[in-house]
Structure 1
């Protein structure tokens, strides 16, 4: 490969030097002279993913969003057709394994694929995941036994796990900090709306074509995603100096600082077509890129996971994700039995329509938590002399926390006393719990990525894999827990736990800068630029 393809930022050569004095990782100058500073600082390389045209970035977001839709649908969207499948397998109790094991294998998939993506690049892992999703769906459609069906779902779930960590990581790498919340919100909305809509359609599709063609149709859809991704989704990994994550790049010559480069929305770094090659179709279609291939990074990623899970703020984010997921899993498991029983007596097709509420709350999330979060981030920075702290990202989490607590209490009471509550008490709070779940995930991702930009991969793996393992464990005990405690008792317990964990967010908000300062030596690589 030409040397021009491996150099970085204004950047003639990446070098490891003695650490420079910095603010805590994540504390950045977001505004300068009224202009938004571009963070990370883009390089003059036309092939830098941050320099992609905005339209192409949207295309990438949409493609990986649809990959996430089919991933979540194939792993979690079987609920409306489970009774049909159980009848085909003569009510074998192991049929429930088709629903419970995918979350486990999604977590395992993250632990395998994300370190691999740091070693060989995001593009080959994403393309392989789309192919495996398609192949696993075909396997399930053609399976001749329950055991084979379960195995096929486990395989496709390994690939589907990339919708949770790899996809947000790609979004993080092609967009700047000041737009990160809104872009992640759009990704989440595409995933949620698409999954909800197709879940509603699933019952009708299976009644007409059978459950095997349900897999067949989405195998074809996954294949189309692969083809689109192969042509339109380039490699998003790009080597950057540590300073780029602070919004400026210091250029050194023989150890002496000779210049500082900062880019803004109006004054970007000029593209250098003399030192670097222009974007080309052959470059975009290449699966493996030399600058993204380093097998030692896989081992380093696992090591960094061990370090990051000890960060107090990351522990809190993981716990918030986990408690929100726990409440959502219980509501998903129990809303159907409640609404299908007296006095509501909802039919199966009507139960599927309940998912439509998720479409509404996903659309609300975009302006409230997505664009709203980004605007709040910039507004507070403007009133702090341009300085932005990741903890500002946590302020909007108050809304999903409040919705989660209120919805959980009402859901539990309505479930225990159905003759005293309208069916809408279940339907609206079920949607409210989902809003809280995706909102807490969105804000947790944004805060973590803003705090530790150079540790995106290990942090996303921790959040997603632990969340998957907890979901797997909960799925085995939900029925017993609710039976013993009752709906009201079960949701009261969950609400108390959620309230206690949420309260620790105040500690993270107040002491986040100190936590980031202490953990900084484990979270930055101190790469610099040497001429």
Structure 2
């Protein structure tokens, strides 16, 4: 029995002609069918959205979004440039490279400035009447304040501008080197390493943010790998330079020369470094827009094919026709620039403090927001893997003098410094692998995946660094233990370690940023804090560990530790997307700029 429950019963259709619907009825039916299907697609879009999963490649060239103007013109620009002509994403490529080069030079010098002292440890134990353990404490202090500095200086950069923090950091580095040049005790080294570690902290976090300010997602690994290289290259070449300075001048000249170089860089920064601070206030989510365009096009074509919608209707409707037509309006889209916004003058660009495009939130809010991310697996994993690289870097920095300056090698101070050339060569190759090669692999896998990029695509490239990291530890530690030719520990061992440190650092940083793009700044701060805390703890522990276990057993234990930590990329490949899906609500909550704001305006 049919029950109408308040609905009007159907009237007789005996006298109604049902064979040929009127034109109006047909149009209404088409509209109802289209609206119904589009509503279903809208719901499916909401269900499918996973942080980090994006459309990187427009395979058919049909999306109405800005794309790369280069040879790979179907690559979608992530993020999309705003209409503001002062947006750093709209800078010419030549200007981006020029600014990047200045920042790379600064980062390189800072990397050298905190890792050059390894060859001098033997000299200082005699001159300062101290032990290797006390010198390791000085190195550990530097690591600790690298992490602490990033927590304090990152929100300062968001409020006062990147340029202000870079200038202030260079100035403090100059002061710390002046103090170091007059040092006469290990306690002075503690003060110097506290200041230099804190001031150098932006080289660990802020340079990565400056990179994402001006470069797009498909370029990210390439340029981040250059910055990782700058830190490791500085760490490798600093000891080489200090060895020759000590031989030809005096160890105090290591500080004097840094004062001179940092002074020149400060002048260059004052007159040529522009601020990349730019708070983006998009009202529309790019990935949501792309998904709607794709789903709408598929829906319309499907409706035409099934007869729910006529091709004539599509051809006559401008909106429907635009959705299904190939969009050739790509590249930089200069027409979208809002010319009513004046371009900045030179002196406006050279302001010491950024007040126009700075972060509108309170400093305190920006300060504590990174600590919310302890529940985000990709960030914690990135911090753990990147932190383990500091363990190997600390191993090389704190042991090279006591290993190579005694029998059977009996190297001079300059020769001890030259052992870092192997690590430098490895870092150069690792940069090419962890940067351009990883970007290439990611693009290829995205094309195979119908243009959709998953951050986990980058992690397949962790296979090689994992193997070489473990092999490098064995070659370094066991090579010395069995008194092999110096090339085994210094050439192969340090070379493999240099490769793995440079490549895996870039890979895990880029993976974490790609997974949660709106939390890039907070994620980097937390990862670098974890990295430097691990490096600090390891530097404190390495000498007692070596004294108790010996180099051979310590090497085997570190070998197994490296396989477990670096090899954990397999877990992220398998369940990384599930982790991102499970933390979707947390991501959207934390990425709200006002989340956690205590001092609302």
> Which range, TM-score by smaller chain?
0.7 to 0.9
**501-510 or 176-185, larger mean C-alpha shift:** 501-510
Shift of 1:196: 2.7
1:416 aligns with 2:495: no
1:463 alignment counterpart? 527
Verify: 1:134 aligned to 2:190, yes or no: no
> Which structure is larger by alpha-carbon Rg, 1 or 2?
2
Match in the other structure for 1:440:
504
Distance 1:483 1:82, change over 3 A: closer
Equivalent residue, structure 2, for 1:105 = 145
- Given candidates 455, 461, 465, the residue that maps to 1:390 is 455
Give the whole-Å Cα distance in 1 for the aligned partners of 2:235 and 2:405.
22
Distance (Å, rounded) in 1 between the aligned partners of 2:401 and 2:584: 47
Q: Provide the residue aligned with 2:101 in structure 1.
A: 62
Partner of 2:387: 322
Give deviations 1:82-113, integer Å, cap 9, x for gaps: 33344443447755544332111111111111
Structure 2 residue 350 is matched with structure 1 residue 285? yes
Deviation at 1:266, TM superposition (A): 2.6
Cα distance, 1:489–1:263 mapped onto 2, change above 3 Å: farther
Q: How far apart, in 2, do the equivalents of 1:342 and 1:63 lie?
A: 42
For the pair 1:155 / 2:195, whether they are aligned, the reply is: yes
Q: 2:495 matched to which residue of 1?
A: 431
TM-superposed CA distance for 1:296, in Å, is 3.5
Structure-2 residue corresponding to 1:125: 165
1:240 CA drift (Å): 2.0
- Provide closer, same or farther for how the CA distance between residues 526 and 145 of structure 1 changes in structure 2, counting only shifts above 3 A: closer
Aligned partners of 1:241 and 1:249 also within 8 Å: no
Tell which has more relative contact order, 1 or 2 (C-alpha 8 A, sep 6+): 1
Q: Secondary structure at the match of 1:465?
A: helix
Q: In 2 relative to 1, CA 477–159 (structure 1 residues): closer, same or farther, beyond 3 Å?
A: same
Partner deviation per Cα, 1:9-51 (whole Å, 9 max, x = no partner):
xxxxxxxxxxx93721211111112611111100121110111
| Of 488, 507, 527, the match for 2:571 | 507
Specify the alignment match of 2:554 in structure 1.
Answer: 490
1:54 Cα shift?
1.2
Question: Structure 1 residues 76 and 195, CA, compared in 2 at 3 Å: closer, same or farther?
Answer: closer
- Which of 19, 23, 44 matches 2:49? 23
Shift of 1:294: 4.6
Root-mean-square deviation over aligned CA pairs:
2.9
Which whole-Å CA distance do the structure 2 matches of 1:63 and 1:450 have between them? 25
**Match 1:199 to one of 221, 224, 239:** 239
8 Å Cα contact 1:29/1:246 also seen in 2: no
Give the secondary-structure state (helix, strand or coil) at the position aligned to 2:568: helix
Contact 2:122/2:402, CA 8 A, preserved across alignment? no
- Contact 1:192 1:362 (8 Å CA) reproduced: yes
Corresponding residue for residue 171 of structure 1: 211
Which residue is equivalent to 2:596? none
Q: Work out whether residues 410 and 429 of structure 1, in 8 Å CA contact, stay in contact via their aligned partners in 2.
A: yes
Structure 2 unmatched ranges of 5 or more: 1-44, 62-72, 291-318, 594-601
TM alignment of 1:396-407, pairs within 5 A: 396-407=461-472
Alignment of 1:135-284 (within 5 A): 135-143=175-183, 146-241=186-281, 246=286, 266-270=331-335, 272-284=337-349
| Cα separation, partners in 2 of 1:247 and 1:268, compared to 1, 3 Å | farther
User: What's the counterpart of residue 27 of structure 2?
Assistant: none
SS at match of 2:82: coil
Asked if the contact 1:48/1:238 (under 8 Å) is kept, the reply is yes
Q: TM-score of the superposition, structure 1-length normalised?
A: 0.86
Other-structure match for 1:479: 543
State yes or no: 1:41 paired with 2:41. no
- 8 A contact 2:115–2:235 mirrored in 1: no
1:520 to 580, 584, 587: 584
Q: 1:497-527 CA distances to partner (integer Å, 9 max, x unpaired)?
A: 2222334322211222222223233334468
Pick closer, same or farther for the CA change 1:429–1:246 going to 2, 3 Å: farther
Shift in Å at residue 267 of structure 1?
Answer: 4.5
Contact 2:369–2:522 (Cα < 8 Å) also in 1: yes
Aligned to 1:454: 518
Cα distance, 1:185 vs structure 2: 1.6
How far is 1:115 from its partner?
2.1
Aligned-partner Cα distance in 1 for 2:194–2:329: 46
Using a 3 Å threshold, how does the CA distance of structure 1 residues 483 and 517 change in structure 2: closer, same or farther? same
> Is the contact between residue 119 and residue 292 of structure 1 (CA under 8 Å) also seen in structure 2?
no
Cα distance change of structure 1 residues 265 and 351 upon mapping to structure 2, 3 Å threshold: farther
Aligned twin of 2:120: 81
Q: Distance in 1 between matches of 2:285 and 2:234?
A: 33
- Is the contact between residue 42 and residue 269 of structure 1 (CA under 8 Å) also seen in structure 2? no
Cα distance, 1:245–1:208 mapped onto 2, change above 3 Å: farther
Deviation at 1:116, TM superposition (A): 1.9
> Do the aligned residues in 2 keep the contact of 1:242 with 1:526 (CA within 8 Å)?
no
Equivalent residue number for residue 405 of structure 2: 340
CA distance in 2, matches of 1:248, 1:266: 20
Instruction: Verify: 1:371 aligned to 2:436, yes or no.
Output: yes
Q: Distance in 2 between matches of 1:431 and 1:120?
A: 40
**8 Å contact from structure 1 (residues 65, 188) kept in 2:** no
1:351 matched to 2:391? The reply is no
Counterpart CA distance in 2 for 1:71 and 1:78 is 13
Q: Deviations over 1:218-244 (max 9, x none)?
A: 122112222222333222222224677
Deviation at 1:396, TM superposition (A): 1.2
